[in-house]
């Protein structure tokens, strides 16, 4: 299996089995500071509402609900799986790295050591119209993280 095929499979798997999905049915953990952000991509209709809970400088929970294309839903799933348990600083750094890769138009290669399964979205960078699809939940997470730590 080629790396491209593996990355495609990761995106398909996460779009079907959405980690962290179920915001409306899940309460935030007790004694956490939370932030919540709703993001909409009016161009294609992707929509995500994401809540992030932080305690003692660590992301305790990421939950989201959304509707949209496979890329946007898979990206939210990967983010929630990757981000839980990270320190606030680590998650900020990963979000910044993900943004750099996606906005590079294919010039910056994703590092799986930093991005984990999110490296699968590296190919999206070559399709400007799809970058917002992959970024929508990450923008919501950054906003929610800033609220939770303000």
Q: What are the tens digits of pLDDT across the range 41-54?
A: 988 899 999 999 99
Cα separation, 112 vs 121, in Å, equals 11
pLDDT average, residue stretch 10-15: 87
Q: In the chain, what are the domains?
A: 3-20+32-148 (3.90.1010.10)
Least Cα distance to 9 among 85, 93, 123 occurs for: 123
Least Cα distance to 19 among 99, 75, 98 occurs for: 75
How distant, in Å, are the alpha carbons of 42, 48, 65, 98 from that of 45? 5, 10, 14, 22
Average pLDDT, the chain: 94
- pLDDT for the residue 4: 72
pLDDT grade for 90, boundaries at 50, 70 and 90: very high
pLDDT average, residue stretch 26-31: 95
0.85 surpassed by pTM: yes
């Amino acid at each position: 299996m080629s790396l491209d095929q593996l990355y495609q499979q990761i995106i398909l798997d996460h779009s079907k089995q959405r980690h962290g999905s179920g915001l409306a049915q899940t309460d935030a953990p007790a004694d956490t500071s939370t932030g919540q952000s709703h993001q909409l991509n009016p161009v294609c209709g992707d929509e995500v509402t994401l809540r992030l809970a932080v305690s003692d400088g660590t992301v305790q929970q990421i939950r989201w609900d959304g509707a949209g294309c496979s890329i946007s839903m898979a990206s939210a799933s990967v983010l929630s799986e990757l981000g839980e348990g990270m320190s606030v600083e680590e998650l900020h750094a990963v979000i910044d790295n993900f943004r750099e890769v996606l906005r590079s138009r294919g010039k910056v290669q994703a590092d799986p050591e930093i991005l984990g399964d999110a490296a699968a979205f590296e190919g999206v960078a070559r399709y400007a119209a799809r970058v917002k699809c992959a970024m929508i939940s990450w923008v919501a997470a950054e906003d929610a993280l800033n609220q939770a730590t303000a």
